[in-house]
Structure 1
């Protein structure tokens, strides 16, 4: 049987044990909270990090858009420059062409053309076509076979011929064009063939007038370049 003093000692020991246990629990709880604070970032830090990431992404997008705009502008400039050069080259190399076509026969040959063109200053070139020249022996336009191989030989004949005037080579473009039209009409009457434009459409007076206006424009350009 325990006396009062022993019971009191046991109670005090139990109370002290409870106090120690509670103190240990509190200490562990504080350490755990500190670990959580060190490991997990605060909401403000998260917001700053996210804003920093978003800002970097926006800057990258702006740089990409800017670079793309510069690249597109450069390509547009290069394309526009190339296009202008192509247009200028096409204007320089534009040929004036009249086609003569016989539907049911092949009346054009070296001998028949030589006979018909006797009254003109026309010379048969070694390349196989006829060249018309002025009194100064300057080339005006050429007459060639419109069928393959494009040249005339003594034993061949053709249903189509083409009269070709190069505005960049002819010195007197308007005179050359007028003579070319006269030759085309003469051959058409002699061989009963049709006069066609460069696209092989039947030549009309309106089309002929348009061609002559084009020739006059070439003449003005040449005079301006010389001046």
Structure 2
């Protein structure tokens, strides 16, 4: 019998990958139409037609036209958490909290959060500058559409909950049962606030006035109290 190690990384079934791809294509189509025509002037039929799916397929995935943009808003957050998990694993050596508590000071966590945000926002596709421009147009449209604002806040809530899972094993928090939840809430709001602040301006995605720079500033303002053990 072979003793070769088996991968523990779960394989996503083909049908699930196709489902995610379809949802994201619909989300891109919805965002483009909202930006071009406005939310009120865009119908679910328009989105389905633009994304090349039947209307019944659209409603299989989304309850409303505003819900359709959620996968696009979540795409960058998903990549951020994945990159953050890699950085935190490298910092702690992938071991237990007890083994690495002294080698995981608060500033390491803040740095990992800031670096992972900056790297994700510099990527291509939906998580990088193009994705940020989509987000800016959606946030501007959300100013006059309550349902779209609700989607934005729901996406941030989901991101916060998933971020808390990533931060749960950070050794600097010790045995405090709420520290990782508080840190996740603070970090998520730092990102949300920074993107909202940037979206209200005409600043480019990169540079000192871009969202990554604003996130870095917010995280360092919070660091002394929220992220210390």
Per the normalisation by structure 1, the TM-score is 0.27
Higher helix share: 2
Per the normalisation by structure 2, the TM-score is 0.26
The structure whose Rg is larger is 1
